[in-house]
Chains A and B, each alone.
Chain A
């Protein structure tokens, strides 16, 4: 036995197998007819599209299994278009497969690498060019050019400055102030403590100042507050936080401390609040402490009390910024 290991050899491209349509005109004719039928189906599809566009009103519905009551106009328009396109494709492919030559062709690849002398020539040209520009000998030019280019790169950044104002302390502020009433969202009705039963929630916003009748989304994005009423004995709060509640009613910012979704899935029995976006779970009885999920901070609590008419009002603004964290946030 020799030590030379012999590998299995390449038998080469197998001999071409003729198709039935190559050998027998009958099959070729059949393929031709099939292609024609496919193209005709496409034409029918376009007809269907035209008919449904012009003649089928868009308020007719028909029950179709799996889909349910379906809009006929939309469905036939789409199916017509789908058929029109699909069958052109199917016809072309069927044609190519059965009637166009199917003999495999071998093409040679060329090497990408340039010949060594070309590469050497290239390097020489570049060097000569650089030498002619004399960058190496005149460092002053090189450095000042670098400076100029670098500085000019600042232009677009500078021009983009007016995309928006600077945040200032806006992120830390909301419309809540001492004495502002909590009103229902939507509806703008002030709320009395007695309006809420134990286990009740209310979506609220700060009352609009007199003379204003419109709230911007920017305001809602920071002002939305959720009111929840529990039995006072259910709370597990320190004295300060307890003093922020009123007869078992506690108020939290509805804007998630994680990424700003509206946290309002209140589970009455477990007294947990859940954010539907990333499933952070907050315990209402412990001042919205995070008990599950990615949020790292409790929801900010709004101190509330009642005014002389008995309506719920804010005792003070939020004592921390609402919504997601940002760099300048101090806690």
Chain B
């Protein structure tokens, strides 16, 4: 026992334990992850639905109602589909931190497994748009970047700005920036029309066209600065600001130096 307690006090004990703990947790998750990846049988599915229901009752029902029928502050979730839940919860918009103008993207509260359970539970209430699979989201293969740009400018740029940086809507609402958003979530947003955003039906904007849009957004996101600092990619306002500050500032600075008498 004495030896153990001495070991416990060893300088390396803390770090070693930490590594050990992390390894354990990691392996557990990997195993757990492997479990969910296998096609869920009916029994598994009902278990997941049950898990989702419990999560829902704990985290969502106070606003959305015990049976997701909606309340005074939150809409009904019957028929919104798994895609909607995956988008709202997966991007951290739900649960809302405060009843402000608009739910913001933030770090998700739930783990991907929990999001999945919630989505399957809500989808079990009434059918709605499904979460797209990885196969459906292969935008590199199925999308065309130039076409995507054209579609983006026709359907999205008026709210999200020409370079997907976001923009203002009425009464303090805004279209968020699309930089750093996962392709799955972009897709789900187009299918479900979260918050102020309208729905882009598959018939008027086909699945392939949606992938093209995603491909274009990703290409803009990855596009390096071809001409120098991007100034936020919001157009002439920041350019004018720079001309009025750095531009004329440098020139007036030199002018002051020029007119100063040398000692």
Whether A185 pairs with B154 at a CB distance below 8 angstroms is: yes
Give residues of chain A (270-326) contacting chain B, Cβ–Cβ below 8 Å.
Answer: 270, 272, 274, 276, 279, 281, 292
Residues of A within 8 A of B (CB): 17, 19-21, 61, 66-71, 74-75, 78, 89-90, 93, 97-98, 102, 184-187, 189, 191-192, 195-203, 227-228, 262, 264-270, 272, 274, 276, 279, 281, 292
Whether B261 pairs with A102 at a CB distance below 8 angstroms is: yes
Whether A201 pairs with B228 at a CB distance below 8 angstroms is: no
A66-B229, A200-B193, A202-B204 are known contacts. Are A267 and B169 too (CB-CB below 8 A)? yes
> Quick one: CB contact mask for B251-262 with A, threshold 8 Å, 1 for yes?
000100110111
Q: Could you name 6 residue pairs across A and B whose Cβ atoms are closer than 8 Å? A: A20-B263, A71-B227, A202-B201, A264-B158, A269-B195, A276-B159
A69-B224, A69-B225, A97-B262 are known contacts. Are A195 and B201 too (CB-CB below 8 A)? yes
CB neighbours (8 Å) of B199 from chain A are: 196-201, 268
CB neighbours (8 Å) of B203 from chain A are: 189, 191-192, 195-196
Q: Which of A68, A184, A276, A279 is B158 in contact with, Cβ under 8 Å?
A: A276
A19-B262, A265-B158 are known contacts. Are A197 and B201 too (CB-CB below 8 A)? yes
B67 within 8 A of A: no
Taking CB as reference atom, which chain B residue is nearest A61? B224
Whether A71 pairs with B224 at a CB distance below 8 angstroms is: yes
Complex A-B, nearest 6 residue pairs according to Cβ-Cβ distance, in ascending order: A195-B203, A69-B224, A200-B199, A202-B204, A201-B198, A267-B196
CB neighbours (8 Å) of B225 from chain A are: 67-71
Taking CB as reference atom, which chain A residue is nearest B171? A270
CB neighbours (8 Å) of A192 from chain B are: 203
Whether A201 pairs with B169 at a CB distance below 8 angstroms is: no
A93-B257, A265-B158 are known contacts. Are A200 and B201 too (CB-CB below 8 A)? yes
Assembled-state Cα–Cα distance A292/B168 (Å): 15
CB neighbours (8 Å) of B201 from chain A are: 195-197, 200, 202
Question: Smallest CB–CB gap between B30 and chain A, Å?
Answer: 33
CB neighbours (8 Å) of B206 from chain A are: 187
> Chain A interface secondary structure, helix, strand, loop or mixed?
mixed
Whether B154 pairs with A74 at a CB distance below 8 angstroms is: no
Give residues of chain B (204-263) contacting chain A, Cβ–Cβ below 8 Å.
Answer: 204-206, 209, 224-230, 254, 257-258, 260-263
Residue among B155, B167, B200, B225 with the most chain A CB within 10 A?
B225
B44 within 8 A of A: no
Assembled-state Cα–Cα distance A67/B150 (Å): 27
Assembled-state Cα–Cα distance A202/B199 (Å): 9
Assembled-state Cα–Cα distance A197/B199 (Å): 7
Question: Smallest CB–CB gap between A211 and chain B, Å?
Answer: 24
> Which size bracket describes the interface of B in this complex?
35 or more
Whether B198 pairs with A268 at a CB distance below 8 angstroms is: yes
Whether B200 pairs with A200 at a CB distance below 8 angstroms is: yes
With A196-B201, A198-B199 known, 17 other A-B pairs at CB within 8 A are: A21-B262, A66-B229, A71-B226, A78-B228, A97-B258, A186-B147, A186-B150, A186-B154, A189-B203, A195-B201, A200-B198, A202-B201, A202-B204, A262-B158, A265-B175, A268-B198, A276-B159
Taking CB as reference atom, which chain B residue is nearest A74? B227
CB neighbours (8 Å) of B158 from chain A are: 262, 264-265, 276
Assembled-state Cα–Cα distance A78/B229 (Å): 13
Residue among A21, A70, A89 with the most chain B CB within 10 A?
A70
CB neighbours (8 Å) of B155 from chain A are: 203
B125 within 8 A of A: no
CB neighbours (8 Å) of A93 from chain B are: 254, 257-258
CB neighbours (8 Å) of A20 from chain B are: 263
Question: Smallest CB–CB gap between B126 and chain A, Å?
Answer: 14
CB neighbours (8 Å) of A202 from chain B are: 200-201, 204-205
B151 within 8 A of A: yes
Whether B224 pairs with A199 at a CB distance below 8 angstroms is: no
Give residues of chain B (146-162) contacting chain A, Cβ–Cβ below 8 Å.
Answer: 147, 150-151, 154-155, 158-159
CB neighbours (8 Å) of B230 from chain A are: 68
Whether B258 pairs with A266 at a CB distance below 8 angstroms is: no
B170 within 8 A of A: yes
Assembled-state Cα–Cα distance A184/B154 (Å): 11
Whether B262 pairs with A199 at a CB distance below 8 angstroms is: no
Whether A70 pairs with B228 at a CB distance below 8 angstroms is: yes
Whether B226 pairs with A74 at a CB distance below 8 angstroms is: yes
Whether A196 pairs with B196 at a CB distance below 8 angstroms is: no
